[in-house]
């Protein structure tokens, strides 16, 4: 029966379409994952920029606190100076002078702290700017990358539709019962329901085949299945 062999040859060609469709489908299925990875990179970068901004804000408010403290020290000194003019007792006068000296010393410390903070704030401002610029660049790049991934997924989808159409046309040439066997066997066998006999082994699972099976397949009178993986066997 030459026609069964022909059917099997056609079936084997059909399987090439199926393998191609599965391959392309796998690539399409990867797209959301790739996009997620890109967004994850962006998310982490944004968190770094936020932390830098936060640090800048914290230092700025610390500077404001120090400035308020400085202001209160200055007011205290002015108050003591005014009091100096009104006191009668020598001891109180001396005590006031001491307070003034102490407050002035405190004021110097706070002034130094403010100066140091200002330097650090300048440094932080540069860091914020640099990281914001970097983020903008990365954001643009990632947006482009995602667009490309989506575009290529769309092209692959179109390719699948094209191959599926060719497959449908090809399918019409094959005997329906042979086709039915194949479709049933495809499931759970990496989408492959037919295997070539490669020397004396099944190319689907690699198991050595009984000579009798090879013989039967060669004759092509009936469907022959691999003892191990149950795929339809084709001897070219």
Binding site for Zn ion (CB under 5 A): 202, 204-205, 226, 228-229
Of the pair 66, 181, the CB lying nearest Zn ion is at 181
Non-local (6+) Cβ contacts of 184 within 8 A are 193
- CA dist 192 and 12 (Å) reads 9
- Least Å distance, CB 203 to Zn ion, is 8
Taking CA atoms, 84 is separated from 47, 54, 75, 76, 95, in Å, by 56, 45, 14, 12, 10
Closest to 146 measured CA to CA, from 28, 47, 37, 23: 37
Of the pair 35, 205, the CB lying nearest Zn ion is at 205
Three-state SS at 198: strand
- Least Å distance, CB 37 to Zn ion, is 37
Of the pair 96, 194, the CB lying nearest Zn ion is at 194
- Least Å distance, CB 176 to Zn ion, is 24
Of the pair 156, 202, the CB lying nearest Zn ion is at 202
Beta-bridge partners for 195: 233
- Least Å distance, CB 173 to Zn ion, is 25
- Least Å distance, CB 167 to Zn ion, is 23
- CA dist 206 and 229 (Å) reads 9
Of the pair 179, 226, the CB lying nearest Zn ion is at 226
Give backbone dihedrals phi and psi of 100, rounded to 5 degrees, phi first: -60, -45
């Amino acid at each position: 029966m030459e026609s069964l062999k022909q059917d099997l040859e056609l079936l084997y060609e059909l399987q090439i379409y199926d393998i191609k469709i599965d391959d392309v489908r796998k690539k399409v299925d990867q797209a959301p994952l790739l996009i997620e990875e890109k967004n994850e990179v962006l998310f982490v970068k944004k968190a770094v920029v936020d932390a830098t901004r936060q640090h800048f804000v914290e230092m700025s408010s610390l500077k404001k606190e120090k400035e308020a403290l400085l202001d209160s020290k200055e007011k205290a000194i002015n108050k003591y100076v005014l009091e100096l003019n009104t006191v009668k007792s020598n001891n109180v006068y001396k005590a006031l002078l001491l307070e003034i000296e102490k407050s002035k010393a405190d004021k110097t410390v706070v002034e130094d702290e403010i100066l140091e903070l200002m330097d650090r704030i300048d440094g932080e401002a540069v860091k914020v700017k640099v990281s914001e610029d970097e983020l903008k660049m990365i954001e643009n790049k990632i947006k482009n990358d995602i667009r490309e991934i989506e575009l290529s997924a769309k092209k692959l989808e179109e390719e699948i539709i094209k191959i599926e159409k060719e497959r449908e046309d090809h399918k019409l040439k094959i005997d329906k019962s042979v086709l039915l066997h194949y479709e049933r066997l495809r499931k759970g066998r990496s989408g492959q329901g037919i295997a070539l006999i490669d020397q004396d082994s099944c190319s689907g699972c690699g198991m050595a085949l009984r000579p009798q099976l090879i013989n039967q397949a060669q004759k092509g009178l009936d469907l022959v299945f691999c003892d191990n993986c149950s795929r339809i066997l084709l001897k070219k």
